[in-house]
């Protein structure tokens, strides 16, 4: 199995993110999506993790199943919240035994109503250290172009990101909508002596209904983009909004790659159509996307 750090050393990577299904309907959707996206030969795919024993098992089963039944290289997410150090070590060992060698280490948000201090490890950097102690992983961390919502200010956010990225191999950003946000993040890290790869996260806005939800997820759609989407809606309805959102995402990807981004990471929401259309618009072929 290939390490993501090795892929990035060879050139641009193209990757997709999925979440584990909760029921049979979501499972059927994900299976169909995987079948539709696998021919694009992504460099790797990532599988999210919400925390807690049930989510832990879903993530493990999905990444292990991908290794057995697909040609995909999966990366497992792991969060600190609601786990003891021993439990986290057990999860990491289980991943290694299953053949999973790529990991995204996250602090994680406690479930609503849970103790914010729950779990022995509070920060992603501590989880990176634990993964390094166990060994055998290429480790990534999360980055927020606009700053993590829990950070006191952007400067302290960048300091913490630089500290964990010095220990990790690469970072993947939260989705964003303006290239300058990403470029500013990379410049801030470079000023702190950190030049490891930072993959930009891409999520197209395919409906006006999703705009408030994106803000809740941590990245507000900028006013100029909302105005563009509203104009598309006025002239062509929902399908026009969808096309406009994909065009905006494609333009963002083009700008990022021209500026030297080490790849693109697509948040799919377990759907394939928008990602496939952006791929086609960018002129990517399976040969280009092998990382």
Residues of the chain scoring pLDDT < 70: 1, 50-53, 109-119, 285-291
Domain that holds residue 118: 4-284
First and final C-alpha spacing in the chain: 13
Cβ within 8 Å of residue 137, ≥6 positions away: 92, 95, 96, 101, 102, 103, 131
290: in domain: no
Assigned domain for 179 exists: yes
pLDDT of residue 119: 67
Please give the Cα distance from 159 to 242 (Å, whole number). Answer: 37
According to the model, what pLDDT value does residue 282 have? Answer: 93
In a domain, residue 136? The reply is yes
Residue 228: which CATH number?
Answer: 3.20.20.220
Q: Domain for residue 50, yes or no?
A: yes
Residue 166 falls inside a structural domain:
yes
In a domain, 162, yes or no: yes
Q: What is the pLDDT of residues 159-186, one digit of tens each?
A: 999 999 999 999 999 999 999 999 999 9
Q: Give domain status of residue 291, yes or no.
A: no
CB 99 within 8 A of CB 1: yes
Closest CA to 123 of 164, 82, 158, 75: 164
* Residue count of the chain: 291
- Overall domain count for the chain: 1
Query: Residue 138's beta-bridge partner residues?
Result: 102
What does the alpha-carbon distance between residue 257 and residue 160 come to, in Å, rounded to a whole number?
26
Is 159 among the domain residues?
A: yes
Q: What are the residue numbers of the active site?
A: 17
Which pLDDT belongs to residue 290? 46
pTM as predicted:
0.92
b/e map 120-137, b = 16+ CB within 10 Å: ebeebbbbbebbeeeeeb
């Amino acid at each position: 199995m290939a390490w993501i750090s090795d892929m990035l050393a060879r050139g641009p990577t193209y990757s997709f993110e999925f979440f584990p299904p909760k029921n049979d309907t979501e499972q059927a959707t994900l299976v169909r999506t995987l079948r539709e996206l696998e021919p694009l030969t992504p460099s790797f795919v990532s599988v999210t993790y919400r925390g807690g024993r049930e989510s832990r098992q879903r993530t493990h089963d999905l990444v292990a199943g991908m290794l057995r039944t697909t040609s995909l290289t999966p990366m497992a997410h792991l969060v600190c919240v609601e786990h003891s150090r021993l439990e986290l070590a057990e999860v990491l060992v289980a991943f290694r035994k299953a053949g999973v060698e790529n990991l995204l280490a996250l602090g994680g948000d406690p479930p609503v109503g849970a103790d914010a201090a729950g779990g022995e490890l509070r920060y992603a950097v501590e989880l990176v250290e634990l993964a390094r102690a166990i060994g055998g992983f290429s480790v990534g961390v999360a980055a927020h172009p606009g700053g993590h919502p829990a950070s006191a200010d952007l400067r302290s956010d960048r300091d913490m990101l630089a500290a964990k990225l010095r220990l990790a191999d690469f970072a993947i950003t939260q989705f964003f909508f303006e290239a300058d946000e990403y470029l500013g993040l990379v410049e801030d890290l470079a000023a702190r002596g950190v030049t490891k790869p930072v993959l930009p996260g891409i999520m197209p806005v395919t409906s006006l209904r999703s705009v408030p939800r994106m803000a809740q997820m941590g990245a507000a759609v900028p006013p100029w983009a909302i105005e563009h989407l509203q104009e598309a809606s006025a002239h062509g309805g929902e399908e026009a909004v969808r096309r406009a959102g994909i065009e905006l995402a494609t333009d963002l990807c083009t700008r990022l790659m021209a500026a030297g981004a080490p790849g693109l990471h697509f948040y799919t929401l377990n759907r394939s159509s928008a990602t496939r259309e952006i791929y086609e618009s960018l002129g990517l072929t399976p040969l280009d996307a092998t990382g």
